[in-house]
Amino acid sequence: MSASARPAVLVAGASGLVGAALLRRLLADAAGSSVVAVVRRPLELVSPRLVVRVADFGRLDGVDLPPAATAFCALGTTMAKAGSREAFRAVDLDAVVAFARAARRAGATRFLAVSALGADPGSRVFYNRVKGEAEEALRAVGFEGLVLVRPSLLLGERSEARPAERAAGVVTRLVPWGLAGPLSRWRPVPAGAVAAALVALAGLPFRGVRVVENDEIHRLASGTSSRVR
């Protein structure tokens, strides 16, 4: 079956650290489905199998998405970049849920989302609480299969400076993260490893809700292909 005849793969957050790595990995599979990237700004990347939909995530009801089976969400920002709690929630909660609902309307039955280690709707930490609220809302959308991936601090080159992640890179070189123990669950993870884990998970049959913690992300990323079912 040709790529155009198969249901599309939907991706949100393709301009971010994890999303960009995910998009490159999906497009590397020459026999894969077409990939539709829903973005706020045009992408520089060009591929015969890539379709870009520039959209306002607050108004996705009018966005024309092709029939899809699988959707990935790597949307996310930081308090520093967002500038306020309201702006942060608009991306990490509202936009995530809006994309999930749009993907479901397009026929997607499987949804894989990047959340965060410590996500908990009851957390006293604002960041973790919003991530937990997003997870809770995604569970209610009605996907046959939902994967929530919870990485620790992400490693990779960004356009904006993030002191915490630079510090994590230094710590990664100093701490023996491979040793067993409570610290191992917090070890920083390269964005490319998160993307690899997402593709590995999408290549597996799954139903219901699966939560993938940071340690499992590292394990999954160690040996993946670029094929999405």
Measure the CA–CA gap between 7 and 125, rounded to whole angstroms: 39
- Domain membership of residue 75 (yes or no) is yes
Name the residue range of residue 104's domain: 3-154+190-220
Does this model's pTM top 0.95? no
- Domain membership of residue 227 (yes or no) is no
Q: Which residue has the tokens 């356009």?
A: 159
- Domain membership of residue 173 (yes or no) is no
For the segment 51-63, what is each residue's pLDDT rounded down to a tens digit? 999 999 999 988 9
pLDDT of residue 177 exceeding 60: no
Strand partners, 70: 9, 110
Query: Across the chain, what does the average pLDDT equal?
Result: 87
For the segment 191-205, what is each residue's pLDDT rounded down to a tens digit? 999 999 999 999 998
Sign of CA dihedral 153, 158, 159, 161: positive
Structural domains in the chain (count): 1
Q: Which residue has the tokens 């597996």?
A: 204
Amino acid present at 221: A
- Domain membership of residue 181 (yes or no) is no
- Domain membership of residue 64 (yes or no) is yes
- Domain membership of residue 30 (yes or no) is yes
- Domain membership of residue 180 (yes or no) is no
- Domain membership of residue 168 (yes or no) is no
Measure the CA–CA gap between 130 and 89, rounded to whole angstroms: 7
CATH number at residue 118: 3.40.50.720
